[in-house]
């Protein structure tokens, strides 16, 4: 059974480990430098009145993924940004879908009108995931240089919370 709940400080070490595994594999996140639990916590808890995050775990407490929403400097105040991370080998099993259900309600509760996903253009799995949730393309950023010097395009997708 999959458990979805709000992320807490106690989840930071496992979340950082999961994110570092994804970064090591490469190609699916714009993050290219490994993180620590403290650095991850600074991001995830940076704006508690406008941001939140959820974890997906098994009944035994194994972390399978996490999802964050919050403001972004390049978005209007009625929009939040989203980041989703699922344990490699566990994608396509509904973890992201269940996280998104909790995240949508949280975004509404926080007063957002829409959610932005900023996805590497070469991240086929990420593009498919957000498309399958109902996100639609609204922009593209070309020639984005990542921290490790990699250059990539990014696809911007949006999910409207209000009709």
- The length of the chain is 163
Render 11-42 in DSSP notation, one character per residue: GHHHHHHHHHHHHHH-SS-S--S---HHHHHH
pLDDT for position 149: 83
Across 32-162, where does the E strand assignment appear? 52-58, 63-70, 79-86, 114-120, 136-145, 151-160
pTM exceeds 0.75 for this model: yes
- The per-residue pLDDT for range 96-122, each reduced to its tens digit, is 899 999 999 999 999 999 999 999 898
Residue 78 buriedness (CB in 10 A; 0-12 / 13-18 / 19+) = exposed
**Total number of domains in the chain:** 1
Domain that holds residue 10: 2-160
pLDDT for position 88: 83
pLDDT for position 91: 65
The CATH number for 67's domain is 3.40.630.30
pLDDT for position 11: 97
Spans of the chain below 70 pLDDT: 26-28, 30, 32, 91-93, 163
Residues 68, 84: Cα–Cα separation, whole Å: 7
Two structure tokens written together for 148 = 């490790």
pLDDT for position 6: 97
């Amino acid at each position: 059974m999959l458990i979805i709940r709000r992320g807490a400080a106690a989840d930071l070490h496992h979340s950082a480990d999961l994110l570092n595994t994804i970064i090591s594999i490469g190609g699916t996140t714009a993050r290219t430098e490994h993180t620590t639990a403290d650095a991850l916590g600074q991001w995830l808890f940076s704006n508690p009145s406008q941001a939140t995050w959820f974890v997906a775990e098994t009944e035994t407490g194994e972390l399978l993924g996490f999802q964050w929403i919050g403001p972004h400097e390049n978005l209007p105040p009625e929009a939040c940004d989203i980041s989703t991370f699922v344990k490699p080998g566990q994608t396509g099993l509904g973890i992201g879908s269940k996280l998104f259900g909790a995240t949508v309600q949280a975004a509404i509760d926080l007063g957002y009108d829409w959610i932005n996903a900023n996805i590497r253009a070469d991240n086929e799995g990420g593009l498919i995931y957000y498309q399958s949730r109902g996100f639609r393309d609204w922009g593209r950023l070309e020639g984005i240089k990542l921290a490790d010097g990699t250059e990539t395009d990014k696809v911007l997708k949006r999910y409207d919370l209000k009709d």
